[in-house]
Structure 1
Amino acid sequence: MSQSIITTIDQLQAQFDHMRALSRKKPLNSWIDREALLDSLETMLAKNQQVFADAISQDFGHRSQDETNFAELFPSFQGIAHAKKHGKSWMKTRRAGISTLFRPAYNEIQPQPLGLVGVIAPWNYPIFLSIGPMIDALAAGNRVMIKMSESAPLFAEAFAQAVAKHFSPDMVSVVVGDVDIAVAFSEMPFDHLLYTGSTSVGRKVMAAAAPNLTPVTLELGGKSPVVVLDDADLENVVNRVMMGKTLNAGQTCIAPDYVLIHSSLHSKFVKLAKEWLLKHYPNIESNDDYTRIINDAHFKRLQGYLSPLPKEQVVPLTNVEADAEKRLLPPVIVLNPDPETEVMQNELFAPILPLIHVNGLRDAVEFVNSRPRPLALYIFGEDNKNIDYVRSHTVSGGVAINEVIMHVAQHELPFGGVGESGIGAYHGKWGFERMSHMKPVFVQSKLNAMSIMLPPYSNLFRKGLKYLTK
């Protein structure tokens, strides 16, 4: 393998030390240098679209080329274009306000590269969730080390080889390996560490970063609810929720996890969901558009969620049985499961959709607020007053109204969680600032009144201070 591909802990330490030293000696303060790196990222992505898509499909057992194009390549290219368009203005030193009491002095904010950024990428969207953090880190003038997920080994190898061809190992290094490598990576004293994955592992990453006081961005998950208001168009609700639940077979951190809906609408929801699935995924067992579960361990985990539930509570949306050998899991709806069951306690990451009985808007809000704060919250309805009530009485990483998932592709919005669903946000300008030190600078004028602020304190000083502290 290329020297930019790290596979052992000794290599990891040596490369970390090398890149960190360079980040101190040769900071990337020029937009020309940063833009060139973004150009290289764009070229790498353009030249390896098919290679990446094929590797991902093999890792999953099958994933649609179109799904990879739509959910990974498209937002990655858009993110690069957005950073190239705006990055030069983001990095400029900007004036900040100042109190009239200190004028004619003035304040500035000077964005500076942090230095060396570590990225721990997940397996579910390995292109977008590797490229996205890299865009922000490189636009902000940082060097990057990225640890690929061991659950998608073929993509990890393809990505590492592509990076080695398009980037100097002084700028970008790819780390591949098992859990031991991931643990060692998270213990390195990076200038910033971004992790995308489960909440349980996120806790371990934060604990590993703590001894070094490494600042972290944790993009986690959780159970993202759908609140269906009384005046919602149920056909539209089903159309959008089922799209979000079947995309990547539900293996999406912001997939709609469960639906809060009045019990009188459950049967109609199930009927519409079956019709939707038949229309969009006919012959699901052989349909090239339908993705498989990533590995045997996750498939077994999902079967473990469903097997304890009463049969009448689990409603298949097709006549096709789950196939463990192929890791094919057709979508199912779970009718009003007990809140203490695993299907309601754990993030599903699967085409499993619980429908929860609620008696109106306030009941739905109370249900959401009784649980950890979600990464995303989806509201369907027409009455703006009721929509605003849900928005203002719940806290979530992000919100989409009459839609699901699409907020992640908005480069003018920050993306991140809150509470157990994450720490910090990135994308676009928000990611640039997250990956920069926004240094405050106070510039004193030659003409200033600081001389009267020195001891021995005069009556003028006392009178002035008394006036200011009234």
Structure 2
Amino acid sequence: MMRYEPQAYQCCTAASVYYSARQLHGLNRLGDCYCPGVAGLPCFSASGAALDIDRLAHAMHPQDRADFGLLLDMAARLPSPLLSLLLRLFNQAETFRFAPLRLARLGTAGVVYSLYYGFAGPGGAQVRNGLGWDAAIRTVLPGEPPMNQLVRDAAPNLAPDADEVVAVFKRARNAHLDIAALSLKQRLAVLDNLCQVIVRRRAEIIARVTEETGKCASDALLGEIFAVIDNLEYLRRHACKVLADRKMPTPLAMLGKQSRVWYEPLGTILVIAPWNYPFYQAIVPISIAFAAGNAVVHKPSEFTPLRGLIESILAEAGFAPDWAQVVYGTGSVGATCLAQRPDKLFFTGSVATGKKVMAQAADLLVPVELELGGKDAMLVFADSNLERSVAGAMWGAFTNTGQSCTSIERCYVERPLYDRFLALLVSQTRKLTLGTSSDHDIGTMTTPTQIEIVRAHLADALAKGATQHTGQDWDGQSAAIPPIVLSNVTHEMCVMQEESFGPFLPVMPFDSEAEAITLANQTIYGLSACVWSGDKARAERVARQLKVGNVSINNHMITEGNHALPFGGAKQSGIGRFKGEEGLRGFCNVKAVMVDGNSAKIEANWYPFTTAKYEALDKMTVASRIRGLGGIIRFALAGLPLEQLANKLGKQGRQR
């Protein structure tokens, strides 16, 4: 058995889609135990065979893949003597006749030998030359994309079939029973572990998100890491209170009874997520649904699947394999998942896709929560702080390259401030830098479709008379689109009516408060908006008249950033509310409960009915509408004889 020497593994720096650097480190340690290198052959770690792990991992069952990751974690952490002891136990599996050990030995050895003898890289060639035959799993041709790109490109072909999806939901429904059996405090403890794992692995998460979305590192840190941690912290602090049984008022006519509301799990939640915030839109709904006691099936976008990352992080946090499962594929896979009749669908995406999803859900009577698109307006009054409002406009419009549903997509400025606002906006926007590193401001677009929409909206605006102040050097093709400021825009232009989802900021003047409100409301969308003014009373007055689900005053997107607030849209921007008390309870079956005593009393509204009872009920009905102490007295004077009559009639009925 080869002794573990740490310096022998420094060459293994390539990333895996499925496994962390530490897990690859563990794979090399295991590999060197099985393939230490003899007769001129390299040891496992020196061959580089670990770099080929994704070709095997993508074909594994998700649970097997996660379990193997746990084994690799253990192999990375164990001191050499303990690792050797573990492998000796594996080798003695037949003697012990212990099935789990036999399976562990077969699985571990099978993966190691397949990688070692089938690796297509230089180390693999050395092995094959030494053996005199070629066992390559696949020959990598010069100029091919990196491994993780190959796996993502193959995602549609790796999508599960209908039978696999059925099995996923069967496991989820069984897992729900285990989750619901946990106390809320136990579930929150798991989420606290999740928070710690995310903080510890934040650099890895940011790297994966940046690679797949093209967003800059700061956008990934704030929007994908900090926001997720904030959500988990909100749940830790407030979930127990929000989901606690509630005492409710009991009407005078039901005096002596108790009224309650219970919040119970729904069962299995289907989450269909978008591509713009792939980590946030996975972890936040999963954590909220799990806190409420549900199992989750998560279907990420095929454009940014983060394949293997979510499962790895959840497993490390202590999630059992079936508590939250990830299903990869295109929209057709999402439709197959919805056909399994989950207990609720949480969908985030475009209005067009949302309508299709809702139509299918309606046919199945599956309750839905839809977080759809927006065309957010920014209203800037002349008494606003110029520098702050310009800085807020730039960030609100260009963060995540404008690929946020709550991005500022229309900016209306009161005419006395308009010229100075536009001039400062243009000069400051020209200073923004493009790139994905931590010292860049704006990343790249994520999907080819969205690049086409930006190109079409820009062409339409320019053809209809708009003036372009920045971004003129964009070639119309590159995903690296510089921020674009437009003026002389009208509501006849697509850029002022349709969701652009790109780095646009069209600016338009207004002359009165009433006109600003009218312009802001002239859209089919109603997600969020912001009002900027030094007059707090006016800002709140305007905000109340905007037909949206969220409003920020003298800021933007901060309603979305506060996880205590419900998030959702009006008009065609969505249905339901996410986050906050409403969002957490939205993943619950809200059960109304009435508790009465086990007495012999007959209720006044029960059978039998008589003329005398009708007259007494009529008096009580009239008395119930009289307010104050006099009303209470009259109600009691009418109710007590009625109660006596009801019990008398009930006894007579029992004697008949």
Deviation at residue 121 of structure 1 after TM alignment: 1.1
Would you say the 8 A contact 2:302–2:329 is kept in 1?
Answer: yes
Larger deviation, residues 283-292 vs 174-183: 283-292
Aligned pair partner of 2:448 in 286, 296, 317: 296
In 2, Cα distance between equivalents of 1:285 and 1:90: 39
**Pair 1:3-2:155 in alignment:** no
Deviation at residue 282 of structure 1 after TM alignment: 4.7
Aligned pair partner of 1:73 in 207, 210, 225: 225
Write the letter of the residue equivalent to 2:296.
V
Task: Describe the shift of the 1:301–1:451 C-alpha distance in structure 2 as closer, same or farther (beyond 3 A).
Answer: closer
In 1, Cα distance between equivalents of 2:604 and 2:426: 79
User: Which 4+ residue blocks in structure 1 deviate beyond 6 angstroms?
Assistant: 283-287
Write the letter of the residue equivalent to 2:446.
I
**Pair 1:305-2:457 in alignment:** yes
Scaled by the length of structure 1, the TM-score of the pair is: 0.92
Instruction: Say which structure, 1 or 2, has more relative contact order (CA 8 Å, 6+ apart).
Output: 1
Deviation at residue 443 of structure 1 after TM alignment: 0.6
Deviation at residue 432 of structure 1 after TM alignment: 1.6
Write the letter of the residue equivalent to 1:55.
R
Deviations 1:230-273 (A, max 9, x none): 32223221111111112111111111110122345433222111
Would you say the 8 A contact 2:467–2:487 is kept in 1?
Answer: yes
Deviation at residue 459 of structure 1 after TM alignment: 5.2
Write the letter of the residue equivalent to 1:246.
F
Give 1:36-435 correspondences, 5 Å limit. 36-60=189-213, 62-153=214-305, 155-163=306-314, 166=317, 167-279=319-431, 281-282=432-433, 288-310=440-462, 313-317=466-470, 321-323=473-475, 326-435=478-587
Write the letter of the residue equivalent to 2:223.
A
> Greater helix percent: which structure?
2
In 2, Cα distance between equivalents of 1:329 and 1:457: 77
Larger Rg computed on CA atoms:
2
Deviations 1:353-383 (A, max 9, x none): 1112322110111223332242001101122
Deviation at residue 435 of structure 1 after TM alignment: 0.4
Scaled by the length of structure 2, the TM-score of the pair is: 0.67
In 2, Cα distance between equivalents of 1:349 and 1:277: 18
Would you say the 8 A contact 1:136–1:428 is kept in 2?
Answer: no
Larger deviation, residues 434-443 vs 411-420: 411-420
Larger deviation, residues 224-233 vs 251-260: 224-233
Deviation at residue 458 of structure 1 after TM alignment: 4.2
Deviation at residue 308 of structure 1 after TM alignment: 3.0
Deviation at residue 314 of structure 1 after TM alignment: 3.2
Deviation at residue 205 of structure 1 after TM alignment: 1.2
Unmatched runs of 5 consecutive residues or more in structure 2: 1-59, 66-157, 623-656
Deviation at residue 41 of structure 1 after TM alignment: 2.7
**Pair 1:35-2:94 in alignment:** no
Deviation at residue 390 of structure 1 after TM alignment: 1.4
Unmatched runs of 5 consecutive residues or more in structure 1: none
Would you say the 8 A contact 2:258–2:595 is kept in 1?
Answer: yes
Task: Describe the shift of the 1:161–1:105 C-alpha distance in structure 2 as closer, same or farther (beyond 3 A).
Answer: same
Task: Describe the shift of the 1:393–1:309 C-alpha distance in structure 2 as closer, same or farther (beyond 3 A).
Answer: closer
Aligned pair partner of 2:173 in 20, 27, 31: 20
SS at 1:104's partner residue? coil
Would you say the 8 A contact 2:262–2:590 is kept in 1?
Answer: yes
In 1, Cα distance between equivalents of 2:199 and 2:327: 22
Deviation at residue 83 of structure 1 after TM alignment: 0.8
> Greater strand percent: which structure?
1
In 2, Cα distance between equivalents of 1:215 and 1:29: 25
> RMSD across aligned C-alpha pairs, in angstroms?
2.5
Would you say the 8 A contact 2:216–2:435 is kept in 1?
Answer: no
Write the letter of the residue equivalent to 1:313.
A
The aligned length equals 466
Write the letter of the residue equivalent to 1:181.
V
SS at 1:440's partner residue? strand
In 2, Cα distance between equivalents of 1:22 and 1:272: 56
Larger deviation, residues 142-151 vs 89-98: 89-98
Would you say the 8 A contact 1:157–1:176 is kept in 2?
Answer: no
Would you say the 8 A contact 1:63–1:289 is kept in 2?
Answer: no
